[in-house]
Structure 1
Amino acid sequence: MPPTVTVEREDAVATLTLRRPEARNALDLALKEELLGALREIAADPEVRAVVLAGAGPAFCVGQDLREHVQSLESGAWATQRTVEQHYNPLAQTLTTMPQPVVAAVHGACVGAGLGIALACDLRVFADDAVLGTAFGGVGLTFDTGLSATLTWAVGAARARELVLLGETFDAASAVAWGVAGRVVPADDVLPTAQELAARLAAGPPLAHAASKRLVAAATTRPLSKTLAAEAAEQDALGRSADHREAVEAFLAHRKPSFDGR
């Protein structure tokens, strides 16, 4: 069987591509496991400083593969597979906690768990033809892949309720206007723009990027006093780093810094 996720590397940028175009990158068991494995491998690779996540074919990702899902319901496998716990939760956790910034290149349909994956990334580039939606209510289910948190943080509780309860799709321009951070570009420019952003991130300070991701991920779940303590600890560690010294020296010398991740 050909791989359902491919990884291409250019310098310090890794591009992960979902490759079930005939199914609009619906998440079957193989794709979920391959994606999670690839993300975990990249997260542990210090040579990778930024990641692009894209989808092959006409869509970014339409969420759970319902054909496989029906088979699992009929066989009773759904009760034992526990795919939310085994796949969707770890995917959201890995994307939000891996040290490298992740840029989602979103085109075509991006719904259900596909939307959850896109919102778990750090940055997003949307094609002007992107169609977004929660889609869960249409099959009698609710949020997964962390979407109840990430969508609510992005657009607010009132609109998040509307989007999941009514299940209406929306376009990229609306998503950005509502607070889903990202930029909208012509469809042909989605992947190149995402890769340009990733290259820019890869040239930046990897230690600071990782610290910033940790602080943002925890900011809404702990009191201000603990957030302030965490900021102090992160800044203290970064202040002792060679990267910080290099950046200060480069600033004073009017040159671009070169970050080594030390």
Structure 2
Amino acid sequence: MPSSFRPVGLSRNRQADPLAAAYALPRPKESFHHGSTAESAFDALYVHAAPGLLHQTHLLTGRRGRAFQAVEYAFSHAWEYWPEVAVDSDPVGWVRFHAYEYALSPWHRFRELVDREEPVPTSPMHRALLHLSARHRRAVLLCDGLGLTIAQAAAELEASCAATESRLLGARAVLAECFPDSDDHDALPLRIRTLVAEGSAATVPTAGSVRAESDRRLRLLTRSVAGAVAVLGGLVCTFVLVSSPWPEPPDRHARTTDTTQGPSRDVRSHP
């Protein structure tokens, strides 16, 4: 899913404006295949995309810790499925999808009850973004922040173009209400784009450490599955042995009945 920027309007076919092109994050997948090994190609993708994704997931959640976790999860997942990612039409979009999914997963609500990490918006626009629902936040970040077209955003959101456009318009309406003093509401998408383009000053882990952690988790998962299969096999064998029918003992009652009749006698008739 290429991410060429487009004008503020909702046209799906118009070309991107020149200013927005400077903020485009993804690049052709061939640029990640110059390395001689899968490790070097993955490292190139990580160095290119990780800092921007860290900033984007922080904008989505307002939580630094979750942003780091989302990026680490997405790239660990990418390394685990690297043969698939390597031939994807947009490797950055592949990783971004999983990072956004992790960052906005509903189960984080239960973690927030324990972690107590409060959102730390970095600007008024960031605070306004956090007032949006997760779906609206994601749609406006993809379209106005990264410059994806409605069709591209719909494909990444796994929604129809009509639903994506509705979310985008709804998000823009809420953002306009957050800035009632603004005379030019059409400039709000540009402010979001600028916010996304600011980037992150945080230091991300090295690509090698992410690959090593992914390999470690995969080995642990493999051992866990093997152990579970062994335990299940033992339980099945035990069940079969316990439930197998044992040979029935001889019928003692029948033998007792026969002996009470005494020994048989050979009765002969005499003339």
Q: Same fold (TM over 0.5)?
A: no
Larger radius of gyration: 2
Per residue, is there more strand in 1 or in 2?
1
Higher helix share: 2
Q: Which has the higher contact order (CA 8 A, sep 6+)?
A: 2
- Please give the TM-score of this superposition, normalised by the length of structure 2: 0.24
